[in-house]
Structure 1
Amino acid sequence: MWWLDAFSTYLYALGVVVIVIAVLILVSGLDDFFIDLVYWTRRLWRSLFVYQTREHTRYHELYRPPEKPLAIMVPAWQETGVIGHMAELVAVTLDYENYHIFVGTYPNDPDTQRDVDNVSARFPNVHKVVCARPGPTSKADCLNNVLDAILQFEQRARLVFEGFILHDAEDVVCEHELRLFNYLVHRKDLIQIPVYPFERQWNNFTSLHYLDEFAELHGKDVPVREALAGQVPSAGVGTCFSRRAMLALIEDGNGIAFDGQSLTEDYDIGLRLKERGMQEIFVRFPVLRYQRHPKQSEKFGQSRQEANVICVREYFPDRLATAVRQKSRWIIGIVYQGYRTHGWKRSPVLNYFLWRDRKGAINNFVSFAAMLIMLQLSVIGLLQLVWTSAPRFVSIFEGQRWFDVVLVANIALMGNRMLQRVIFVSGYYGVKQGLLSIPRLLWGNLINFLANWRAIRQIIRSGDPRRVAWDKTTHDFPSIGGENQAKRSLDDVLVANGVISTTQLHEAQQHRIDGLQLGSSMIHEGRITAEQLAAPMAEQIGVSCESVDPVGLPHELIMTVPRHIALHYAVLPLRVEGGTLVLASESYIDPVSLAAIARQLGRRVRYVIAYKGQVTVGLRRWYAQAHKSDHDPHHLLEMAAERGLISPERVPQLWSGYVSRQVMLGEILVAQGHLDEVAFRALLLNHARSEQRLGDFLIGQGVISTETLNRLLRLQAALQPSVTSLLEQECADFERLERVS
């Protein structure tokens, strides 16, 4: 029968294909087994010999170096509603303060721009960058625009960023991440921390297969790569570049740090820095705190050390089409563009890992073909088992004992592959996810095959791997509660509350006193009172407002806030309510600063808005050493009343006028345009670690000259009255009144 001949031919061809695929699987399996062998041998060696004489670095060591300025770079295309959540989450969780987030947006994406504007109003350390070209361009192009804005900000703020960190808008940043980067950035040029995807429902194999791959990749493969080749591929998130590395990239690219045509600029940069002899490190740093009882959230089989490493968390795509699109971009960038751009290197060890990067172009097809062949052989076996009268064919592997050895070896290697996957997934996510990673292997093979096929079609259609357009992947962001709302303009609130009319506001803006911001200028001119300014300001911010007695605070309460914290953040302690310390401030305290105050004091804090000048006078009275030997201004007023120079009823009025017209040097600096408010806040972080007075520090930083400082101090003295001058004016008025009467 003709179909028997056809089927025999099919079986023969299938046998040839099976042999080729089996050999390829064997080669790849031995390659993976070598990595396993190196990892476990190295881990055993370090356990037996290295850590017997040298202790692990504890997380307390991360707090020793002073906080260096760090810049977080976030590309954003159609990320409405995400940036605000990220900034909020970072502000309340990061155990670090000296950082700025620069968000790259596009001119044709007004929704994201508007969202970033709203976030920037609440978080002074969040800066909007608008790219030169409409989006979506490549992520690398967006980062180049962001980097240019960072360098311009450095010049304006007179600060130098020591580290440049890559993150996406949907990343959840670990509490100690910036502490770790700050600890290492002066010694290492590329620092990469692990990425651990968030879990979804157990049957969402598309999203969870990322979990399996990253757990093994960042748990074993990348550490071995760093140990043998000294080269670390950036993951695109959770990567910190030293200033030396970033300047080298700019020099290498003739002013452009990131390759705008690369779909995986992070992978590209790791190889470029290695060629320049830069130091790269992959860090798995667990933060372990003493616990008398284990957490209820710990999962069975989870390693406490592995599950507490400093890492990046995020949700990965949960739809097949989205996952295929994302992975095809990775394959094009790493395999095809990577080969075209970097070729092979002189180092055999590095070439070995480059081959491991690129073998996926073949492996993804081989794995999928193996699945199909297994399915076909299973169907044939089942058919012969059910259909007993069917013709019997000689096995396609009959008489090939070497092939039996190959099959046995492949089965053993596959069993080891599953075991390794279970171990590394279980270490972070628990045994349940570890066991589920086995069936997810098949689904992952399907996704990788489809992604590889899509990548090849894109390259054929474009004619060149470097011409393939960047294809952004959308992600989910974990909900943190609440909505990100814009902070209304203070001018709008003043008009809306009837404090001042639109005409009066326009007039005040036209005649603003030199050296004062608008609110202070209106108080000095008598257009509004300090209370009328403070109440709308508190409403704008979303906190309460109250009048503060800066001279009547208990000494014990003053001692709860150290001098350097009070002066740096311009706050006064008011009282303790249910374990929460209530602070007074004359201006908005952003969430980053408020969280930093709470960490430094080791207690919960909240703040209220005080009337203008009340905190300034309190700080001078209780904390500013330069004023401790001066006469107490409030006491001078009381003495004048006792001697009959002024009536006792005038003391509160004169005191209120004196307090509300006090001006701090920082306000004059900003009002006169020497610095913008954001740059001034950045400088204050550096000044907090200095023993110099603010004026001397600004001169040392090159912000102002000595002549400018002297002029500003004279202006400050002219703008804010002394009690003596108020008394002299009051007495002169009193004498005039007596002469007239």
Structure 2
Amino acid sequence: MPFSFGSPILQDIFFTLFLGLKFLFYGVAVVFVLSGLDELFVDLCYLGRELYRKLFITRKYSRLTEEQLLAKPEQAVAIMIPCWDESAVIRRMLENTLKSLNYSNYVIFVGTYPNDPETQHEVDMVRSMYDNVERIVTPKDGPSSKADCLNWLYKGIQVYEQDHDMQFDIFLMEDSEDIIHPLLLKLCNYVIPKLDMIQLPVHPMVRSWTHFTANHYMDEFAENHTRDLIVREMLTGTVPSAGVGTGFSRKALLTVAKAQKQQLFNIDSLTEDYDFGLKMSAFGLRQAFVRQWVWRKKLVKHFWSRRPKEKLVKEFISIREFFPTTFTTAIRQKSRWVMGIALQGWTTLGWRGGLASRYMLIRDRKSVLTNIVNLAGNALFVIILAMIGYNQFSTTYRLPPLVNPSLFTNILINTCLFFLFWRMCMRFVFVTITYNWIQGLWAIPRLFWANIINFVATFRAIYQYAKSVITGQKATWDKTHHVYPSEEELRAYRRKLGDLLLDRRFLTIHQLDEALEVKRNSDKKLGEILLEMGYITEEHLIQVLGIQFQVETQVVDPFETPVELLEMLPLNLALRYQVYPLRLDRGQLVVATNDIPDNATLRVLEQETGVSIALKLAIKSDISFAIQRGYEQLTAPQNRIFIGQRLVKQGVITQQTLFEALKLQRKRHRPLREILIEKKIMTREQVEQSIETYYKQGTKQTLLTFWEQNGWASSDQLQEALDERNRNCPPLGELLVEIGAISRPQLEEILNHPET
């Protein structure tokens, strides 16, 4: 029985809605087919290009290698970072960049506003530690537009060049939340000035699978920065800038600045980067999208056994960052993109260029329509399924079909289904190429969530654009609050310790497999486990950690430490955080550490010492030995002469013998806390908890007394640990006798007749 309503009014409403859905279906289907043909054409262009390169290019020419990147002499690079209200992330971004980049000839310029003192303070903190960080303040309060901040940054760089009688060869645009690949500047240095502008890939960082909003950016950028920009460059010779990871030659900026009365970027645009990139072709400047990778050995888990195996993988030289995780912040960001590219771009850029360029402009601007149609299509799909389900289970009334069966409608529906299936397959392919096949599978359900975000963002963009046109108000910086990765997340992005050890052949895959098996049932770090198993030395570990964190290694000699430094960094801080002062360098206190401390620890050390802290990596036994021996200077008589120096002075041993003996002594020294853990007197958690409690209470008793009085260990157990430490690392005199450098009578003679 056909579906009907008792009330004629309700019946009229139903059929009006039904007729509206019918027209909506045909409208959506037509747009979907036209957009699908457009996407299919771009896909075929990309696949054809890849096939051509595989057949005729890659066989003749080898890909650029890391060695080639490193071999070219460094040009001067200026990194431009515009900031408004970025105090939460800018300091960590700068510190991570400075520690990570494999480049030396560069200066970072951060643009700030007079009414943003918090961001200025964070930049100044980094500035006080590094000579190659400069802060430039705009003349007016913010927020203005990002383009305005960039223009003032460029003016500030010109003043810097005049003051320092130098010129920058390369200019790089970045944002305050970017994680820059260590080789990115090397790549810019290699291709500029052969090219006047390059755009490098942007790869959003992977979040938990539940973060559909943040992860949908991965899918869109994987497709845009694997396919779209490559095809665009192939067809038009132009590349729009993404605003980050964009490098310019000096010639490019001088040319554009001269033509635009020294105003590089369009201050009326919310997407000044996109606008700038497309305008460059008008000046005859050469552009390219540079998608380069290096091969790395990496440990991956076997899909079935979950056991690690070594594999060569591509590591893209790209920009990584966290994108918004909440629906609201994603809407704000994407509405800015839609408004700037699709709506403002129509006004400011018009329809310039040849047929291919205009075609690409249509693709940029069709999002205003397709973002709405895609969600409408998703909604129609759900409605059609609901209608089919209703008719299947209803025994009384049946709904009429939304469209009448015919050859045309069958072709239209099947074409739409084909393009939907094709789009999902291609999204899977591009995400898999950029990340992995698991993320490729997740990209399929995220595609529908992305349609919802893009739909809402488009409506917001249309509203904002209409408002700006009606009121005549210029668009200001529509702020997206950024999040910078934690130290743990940054470590995950950096090369893994196991990979680096394998790279340098300090370890075999079998040994690493065994250590990882032990780690599954332990709270210890991988490096500690490998040391305990005897597979690597402390020297190997520190060398690799230095590479991983881009921190230099340092040999610690406590007998050359000035007393002033020991007083600056008190013993309780040195013991608590296992750090040791080395020297003062341009107002910075350089300290040795065995592990990279977190930001909270660095802040404590800076507050207590009153100066900024710079880090060097050292062997754990070196640091523990230095703390024990170095701080003795504060309590020892001023006229006491170090026994080793006395022996050298008297000609009993040479300076080289003393050096070797001290090196052996440091190497054999073992921290007391490690001995307590090894002998199972205390667990690692108990040691860390007790030390934290000890320093929080601020007691004046020694740590040994504190342990004993609070029941952490008995006096016999503590004495046993002390005896073990002394056996491993005897006093220097005993060690010299042990290695045959002096005799026992010589040692006793010196000890019985101390110098005064």
Superposition TM-score tier, normalisation by shorter sequence = 0.5 to 0.7
What letter corresponds to residue 104 of structure 2 in structure 1?
E
> For residues 557-581 of structure 1, what are the alpha-carbon distances to aligned partners after superposition, in whole Å with 9 as ceiling and x for unaligned?
xxxxxxxxxxxx99xxxxx999xxx
Aligned partner of 1:133 among 112, 116, 140: 140
Q: In the TM superposition, what is the alpha-carbon distance from 1:167 to its structure 2 partner?
A: 0.7
Bigger mean CA offset, 396-405 vs 99-108: 396-405
Q: Distance in 1 between matches of 2:582 and 2:16?
A: 88
Match of 2:387 in 1: 380
- 2:411 corresponds to 1:405: yes
CA distance in 2, matches of 1:69, 1:98: 5
2:69 to 62, 71, 81: 62
The question of whether the paired residues in 1 share the 8 Å contact of 2:151 and 2:264 is answered with yes
Report the counterpart of residue 245 of structure 2 in structure 1.
238
1:469 aligns with 2:473: no
Q: Is the 8 A contact 2:79 2:107 kept in 1?
A: yes
1:70/1:100 contact within 8 Å kept: yes
Question: Is the CA contact 1:190–1:245 (under 8 Å) kept in the aligned structure 2?
Answer: yes
Contact 2:295 2:314 in 1 (8 A): no
Partner of 2:289: 282
Which residue of the partner structure matches residue 544 of structure 1?
A: 581
CA contact (8 A) 1:249 1:258 kept: no
Select between 396-405 and 109-118 the one with higher mean Cα deviation: 396-405
Tell me the distance in 2 between the aligned counterparts of 1:49 and 1:305. Answer: 25
Post-superposition offset of 1:461: 2.1
Matches within 5 A, 1:578-589: none
Equivalent residues in 2 for 1:41-440, closer than 5 Å: 41-289=48-296, 291=297, 294-296=298-300, 307-393=314-400, 395-440=401-446
1:28-87 CA distance string (max 9 Å, x none):
001000111111111111111211222112121112221101000111122224222122
Deviations 1:4-37, CA, capped at 9 Å, x for gaps? 4543343233222211110110000010001111
3-state SS, counterpart of residue 581 of structure 2? coil
3-state SS of the aligned residue for 2:320? strand
Closer, same or farther: CA 44–5 of 1 in aligned 2, 3 Å: same
The answer to whether the 8 Å contact 1:71/1:102 transfers is yes
| Separation in structure 2 between the aligned mates of residue 184 and residue 298 of structure 1, nearest angstrom | 38
Which one-letter code corresponds to 1:441 in the other structure? L
Given residue 471 of structure 1, which amino acid in structure 2 is its aligned partner?
D
Give unpaired runs (5+ residues) of structure 2.
Answer: 1-5, 491-560, 587-591, 595-610, 627-756
Describe the SS at the equivalent of 1:127.
strand
Q: Deviations over 1:706-738 (max 9, x none)?
A: xxxxxxxxxxxxxxxxxxxxxxxxxxxxxxxxx
In the superposition, relative to structure 1, how do residues 537 and 340 fare at CA in structure 2: closer, same or farther (>3 Å)?
Answer: farther
Residue 296 of structure 1 aligns with an amino acid whose one-letter code is: V
C-alpha distance in 1 between matches for 2:238 and 2:489: 42
CA distance in 1 between counterparts of 2:360 and 2:321 reads 27
Q: Tell me the amino acid that sits aligned with residue 419 of structure 1.
A: C
Offset of residue 536 of structure 1: 8.0
For 1:421 and 1:65, the matched residues in 2 are separated by: 37
Contact 1:264 1:333 in 2 (8 A): yes
Structure 2 contact 143–476 (Cα < 8 Å) conserved:
no
Structure 1 window deviating more from structure 2 (171-180 vs 267-276): it is: 267-276
| 1:467 match: secondary structure | coil
Tell me the C-alpha RMSD between the 2 structures. Answer: 3.4
Residues 254 and 546 of structure 1: CA distance in aligned 2, closer, same or farther (over 3 Å): closer
Determine if contact 2:128/2:612 at 8 Å carries over to the other structure: no
Change (3 A) 1:589 1:373: closer
Q: Is residue 89–residue 480 contact of structure 1 (8 Å, CA) maintained in 2? A: no
Deviation at 1:237, TM superposition (A): 0.6
How far did residue 321 of structure 1 move?
0.5
Q: Quote the Cα distance in structure 2 between the aligned partners of 1:84 and 1:209.
A: 27
Structure 1 pair 190–399 and aligned structure 2 pair: CA distance change class (3 A): same
Q: Does the 8 Å contact 1:538/1:545 carry over to 2?
A: no
**1:424 CA drift (Å):** 1.2
- Structure 1 match to 2:42: 35
Q: What are the equivalent positions in structure 2 for 1:604-615 lying under 5 Å apart?
A: none
Contact 1:191–1:239 under 8 Å retained in 2:
yes
- Matched residues in 1 for 2:215 and 2:467: separation? 31
**2:167 aligned counterpart, secondary structure:** coil
- Separation of aligned partners in 1, 2:473 and 2:317: 34
Q: State the SS of the aligned residue for 1:74.
A: strand
Q: Distance in 2 between matches of 1:286 and 1:248?
A: 31
CA 368–482 in structure 1, closer or farther in 2 if over 3 Å, else same? closer
Q: Go from structure 1 to structure 2 and tell me whether the alpha carbon gap of 1:447 and 1:379 turns closer, same or farther (over 3 Å shift).
A: same
Amino acid at match of 2:454: N
Q: Is the 8 A contact 1:185 1:242 kept in 2?
A: yes
User: Relative to 1, partners in 2 of residues 1:382 and 1:44: Cα closer, same or farther, differing over 3 Å?
Assistant: same
> 1:107 aligns to what SS in structure 2?
coil
- SS of structure 2 residue aligned to 1:287: strand
Question: In the TM superposition, what whole-angstrom CA distance separates every residue of 1:493-538 from its partner, at most 9, and x where no partner exists?
Answer: xxxxxxxxxxxxxxxxxxxxxxxxxxxxxxxxxxxxx968877899
What is the CA-CA distance between 1:259 and the residue it aligns to? 1.2
Distance in 1 of aligned mates of 2:233 and 2:614: 38
Q: What runs of 5+ residues in structure 1 fail to find an aligned partner? A: 484-529, 548-568, 571-575, 579-587, 599-603, 609-741
The equivalent of 1:625 in structure 2 is none
* SS of residue matched to 2:481: coil
Contact 1:39 1:224 in 2 (8 A): yes
SS in 1 for 2:59: helix
TM-score (norm 1): 0.65
Q: How many angstroms does 1:261 deviate by?
A: 1.6
Cα gap change, 1:47 to 1:471, in 2 (>3 Å): same
How far off its partner does 1:442 sit? 1.0
Mapped to 1, the partners of 2:134 and 2:434 lie a distance apart of: 35
**Which moved further from structure 2: 80-89 or 155-164?**
80-89
Same amino acid, percent of matched pairs? 37
Q: CA deviation at 1:139?
A: 0.9
Distance 1:533 1:147, change over 3 A: farther
Q: Which has the higher contact order (CA 8 A, sep 6+)?
A: 1
Relative distance call for 1:186 and 1:346 in structure 2 (3 A) is closer
Distance in 1 of aligned mates of 2:583 and 2:257: 51
Q: 2:250, 2:15 → 1: CA distance?
A: 66
Q: CA deviation at 1:307?
A: 4.4
Q: 1:145 to 1:42 in 2, by over 3 A?
A: same
1:100 is matched by which residue type in structure 2?
Answer: V
Matched AA of 2:330: A
SS at match of 1:469: coil
Change (3 A) 1:42 1:250: same
